[in-house]
Amino acid sequence: MKIKPEQLVNQLKKGLAPLYIISGDEPLLVQEASDLVRKYAREAGCHERIVMTVEKGFDWHSLSLESGGMSLFAEKRLLELRLPTGKPGDAGGKALRAYAEGPASDDVLLIVAGKIDTKSQQTKWYKTLEGVGVAVPIWPMEVSQLPAWIKQRMKANKMRPTGDAAQVLAERVEGNLLACAQEIDKLFLIHGAAEIDADMIVDAVANSARFDIFGLVDTALSGNGERVARMMSGLRSEGVEPVLVLWALAREIRTLSSMSFEVSHGTSPDQVMRNQRVWEKRKPLIKKGLRRSPRQWWYLLHRAGQIDRMIKGQATGNVWDELLQLGLMMAGIRIAKAS
């Protein structure tokens, strides 16, 4: 049986299956789904846990030996097989099929695997496991799904996100679920079971350094060139990697180039900002940026590309000087060309 991750709790409440295969490349979701199976297995009497990790040279015969072994400490056991690559190979496929065709009556097999793509899910070994037990494939979360996931997770921690709070956090963590979960935990430690608004998110998620890269972006959009220079110097002195500064600036430039293109073709700035889910407090900054032409933003994007090549060692130049110039140009300050 194949189910979605959100269906796993209800399935476990109905009773443990002989085996589970949880796979995907979202570490947090895979870990949490696996923890659920471990929890229900313990409650069902599987107090002994045998962990096997499939690495180069792994002896698949050990799986059949373990499944046929007797527990010294408990009547039931949880056999946990870790398959990081998601590919057992020919020998592994045969061993898994053999196990599934005659699973140990007192044991539960939990297979925790890396991504198993759609093609691999059509193989005999996977189909056999799916037919006997429960398969939980976990796919990467779409960016559009993240705010809803954040709201659900915050509410589970008895926090009440208001307004644009979830959207702001989604933008700040850039799809990194593990970082997102850590930030939600931090918010709970700071505020407890309370209403959480966008300002509280910004305060909590900001870089622990005195100057943060998100603040740099907003300062540049506000047109404050003097503060841009001060913040850039602060980021450099605090050891922030230039690639992170470039990432933040380039992401904003890329978004504004796309938005300004839509405005130049007749879409109103308000509609464009609604489409991009710009949160209320940033609208004045973004609206200011939309007064510029797409050509100006494309030029800045070209400059960002040049800095990226410098960081990678594919072009010469002083990266921090170039980042400063990029930030100042975002602020609308003209940079004099060297004569």
Which of 159, 174, 205 is the last residue before a domain boundary?
205
Co-location of 126 and 247 in the same domain: no
What is the share, in percent, of the chain residues with pLDDT greater than 70?
Answer: 94
Does the residue 107 lie in any domain?
yes
Of 35, 30, 67, 37, nearest in space to 52 by CA: 67
Does the residue 182 lie in any domain?
yes
- pTM for this structure? 0.62
Which of 81, 107, 138 is the last residue before a domain boundary?
138
Co-location of 184 and 158 in the same domain: yes
What is residue 234's predicted lDDT score, i.e. its pLDDT?
82
Co-location of 153 and 87 in the same domain: no
Q: ∠ CA 290-196-188 to the nearest 5 degrees? A: 130
Structural domain harbouring 117: 5-138
Does the residue 336 lie in any domain?
no
Q: How confident is the model at residue 66 (pLDDT cuts 50, 70, 90)?
A: confident
Co-location of 177 and 231 in the same domain: no
Co-location of 9 and 133 in the same domain: yes
pLDDT, tens digit (0-9, with 9 covering 90-100), for 91-146: 999 999 999 988 877 789 999 999 998 889 999 999 999 999 999 999 888 878 88
Does the residue 40 lie in any domain?
yes
Q: How many domains does the chain have?
A: 3
Which of 152, 176, 205 is the last residue before a domain boundary?
205
Does the residue 39 lie in any domain?
yes
- Say how far apart CA 223 and CA 288 lie, in whole Å: 9
What is residue 338's predicted lDDT score, i.e. its pLDDT?
47
- Say how far apart CA 288 and CA 86 lie, in whole Å: 48
Q: What is the mean pLDDT of the chain?
A: 87
**The CATH number of the domain where 256 resides is what?**
1.20.272.10
Co-location of 291 and 197 in the same domain: no
Co-location of 20 and 101 in the same domain: yes
Residue that wins the pLDDT comparison between 199 and 307: 307
**The CATH number of the domain where 58 resides is what?**
3.40.50.300
**The CATH number of the domain where 166 resides is what?**
1.10.8.60
Residues 206/183, Cβ–Cβ less than 8 Å: no
Co-location of 130 and 39 in the same domain: yes
